[in-house]
Amino acid sequence: MLSFQSLRAKLLWRLTVASAILIALFSTILYSLIKESLYQEIQSQLFKQAEFIAHNVTNHHAGETIDSFYLKRTLNISIQVVPKPKFISQPTFTEYKKNKHYYIVLFYPYNFKEQTFLRVTKDITTIHSILSKLYRSIILTNIIAFAFIILYAFFISSYLTTYVKRFTAKLSALNENMLKPIKVRDLPEEFQPLAKSINHLINRIQTFVKYQKELFIGIAHELKTPLAVMKLKNEVTLIKKRSPEEYIETIKLNIKTINEMNKMIENILKIGRQEADQFEPPVRLDLIAYLKEKSKNYQLLAEHENKKLLSDFVPEHYESLIQPTLLNHILQNFVQNAIKFTEPGGTIILRSRPTSNGVKIEVIDEGPGIDEEIDHFAPFKRKGNKSGVGLGLFLAKSAADAMGAMISLRNRKDTHGTIATLFIPNELVCPLC
């Protein structure tokens, strides 16, 4: 028994009702056309017969009947001369029923001087009987057709919902350890966009699970090491009595380590806030205008560090449906890293370039470059002795994945330095778009 909340039940019901209405409408039109055609043919014949008699059979007066074997037996009509009926001034057809017989009557002008008309009557009982049989046949055909419609609709609804059931079964069986993409090519064309969206969601889940595992392992490692160092220093300090200066030095080192751990925890909390930002509704904005506005703030940050930030934006305008907070996370991280690793007096370039299927935003610095063999987007990856806990690029990658964009890092070819790239496609596939 199908529930009315079932997609298949709704589809079956709508197909059945729509098809039944279509057949009933077609049958009604067909019957009306056949009836109209028959009546038009009868009326045309009566009109021609009345016209012939009016011009060739004269000298009959009101109340007289034009009697003829041919008329009665062959044409099945009777003709009588009658006074001009009221409200009739031209040939007029009427119908009536008498003693289970059906008749059609034509009043045709006969004698203008005497104001008489011909009353031409034809028995159409046979025609009416044929139409009644035809009507019953159409009703019976509709009933049979309706039964076939139900079977057909049942088959079609079952066929169309087969792929939906497969999707449902596959999705209900998914877990984080057995995520497999759907084979898009094996599906009908109408279901391929849905399958692509599901595959994108699966990819998002896999990426999220992967980063979460890396993050948890990294957190455990990063917090365990300073805690172990603090514990060892305290144990060593308590082994024997020491001077006040030595105790103070140990406490200062512990406070420094705690401050570093607090900073790490603050960055971990940023991850939680960014996950909430992923549900920010996308808005349509001019990306170039947004970059120009942000570049003003970035120039102030660079000048404060005795560095220069140049901007070069092409094209003049580029509209995109995007989540601004996530975009800001990425740009801010790129620019802060560029400022951090560029030596005083150096130059940072923020630029945009159109591509065939989107727009590319690049932040170019004059730092020492990167080791391209290392995954710099993994959590707690730090370079050199620069400050930070190594979560910036991890957050940037997470933000890019959330809004359907792509980021990458590569070394400059012309000189030393790094190029951080954000590629935004024409049609972002973030879940909220």
The C-alpha atoms of residue 275 and residue 246 are separated, in whole angstroms, by 44
Does 172 reside within a domain? no
Indicate if 253 and 284 belong to the same structural domain. Answer: no
Indicate if 40 and 153 belong to the same structural domain. Answer: yes
Indicate if 292 and 427 belong to the same structural domain. Answer: yes
The secondary structure of 321-377, three-state, reads EECHHHHHHHHHHHHHHHHHHCCCCCEEEEEEEEECCEEEEEEECCCCCCCCCCCCC
Indicate if 231 and 333 belong to the same structural domain. Answer: no
| 206: CATH | 1.10.287
Q: Which residues are within 8 A (CB) of 203 and not within 5 positions of it... i.e. 6 or more apart?
A: 181
Does 400 reside within a domain? yes
Q: Among residues 259, 277, 295, which one ends one of the domains? A: 277
- Token pair belonging to 87: 């409200």
Domain that holds residue 31: 7-157
Does 262 reside within a domain? yes
Q: Which residues are within 8 A (CB) of 153 and not within 5 positions of it... i.e. 6 or more apart?
A: 11, 12, 15, 16, 19
Q: What is the pLDDT of residue 397?
A: 85
Indicate if 130 and 152 belong to the same structural domain. Answer: yes
Contact (Cβ atoms closer than 8 angstroms) between residue 118 and residue 108 = yes
Please give the span between the terminal C-alpha atoms of the chain, in angstroms, as a whole number.
37
The C-alpha atoms of residue 27 and residue 141 are separated, in whole angstroms, by 9
The C-alpha atoms of residue 169 and residue 326 are separated, in whole angstroms, by 33
Pick from 232, 231, 250: nearest CA to 242: 250
Does 205 reside within a domain? yes
Q: Among residues 117, 141, 157, which one ends one of the domains? A: 157
Indicate if 140 and 210 belong to the same structural domain. Answer: no
The C-alpha atoms of residue 161 and residue 166 are separated, in whole angstroms, by 9
The C-alpha atoms of residue 411 and residue 420 are separated, in whole angstroms, by 9
The C-alpha atoms of residue 303 and residue 299 are separated, in whole angstroms, by 6
Q: What is the mean pLDDT of each run of 10 residues along the chain (433 residues)?
A: 63 80 88 90 88 81 71 74 85 88 90 86 88 89 85 79 72 65 73 75 72 68 70 79 81 80 68 58 88 90 91 91 85 90 93 92 92 76 56 80 87 90 78 42
Does 293 reside within a domain? yes
Indicate if 210 and 83 belong to the same structural domain. Answer: no
Crossing angle for the helix pair 244-277 and 392-402, to the nearest 10 degrees: 10
Position 307, amino acid: K
Does 171 reside within a domain? no
Backbone angles phi, psi at 136, to 5 degrees: -65, -35
Indicate if 255 and 237 belong to the same structural domain. Answer: yes
Number of domains within the chain:
3
Q: How many CA atoms lie within 13 A of 314 on its CB side?
A: 4
Where does residue 296 rank: exposed (0-12), middle (13-18), buried (19+ CB within 10 A)? exposed
Indicate if 134 and 203 belong to the same structural domain. Answer: no
Indicate if 32 and 77 belong to the same structural domain. Answer: yes
Helix (H, G, I), strand (E, B) or coil at 198: helix
The C-alpha atoms of residue 184 and residue 179 are separated, in whole angstroms, by 15
Indicate if 317 and 430 belong to the same structural domain. Answer: yes
Helix (H, G, I), strand (E, B) or coil at 242: coil
Position 333, amino acid: N
Helix (H, G, I), strand (E, B) or coil at 164: helix
Pick from 331, 324, 320, 310: nearest CA to 392: 331
Position 68, amino acid: S
Question: Tokens 């074997």 correspond to what residue?
Answer: 69
Pick from 139, 101, 108, 123: nearest CA to 23: 139
Q: What is the pLDDT of residue 423?
A: 94
Indicate if 297 and 384 belong to the same structural domain. Answer: yes
Q: What is the pLDDT of residue 430?
A: 47
Q: Among residues 277, 304, 331, which one ends one of the domains? A: 277
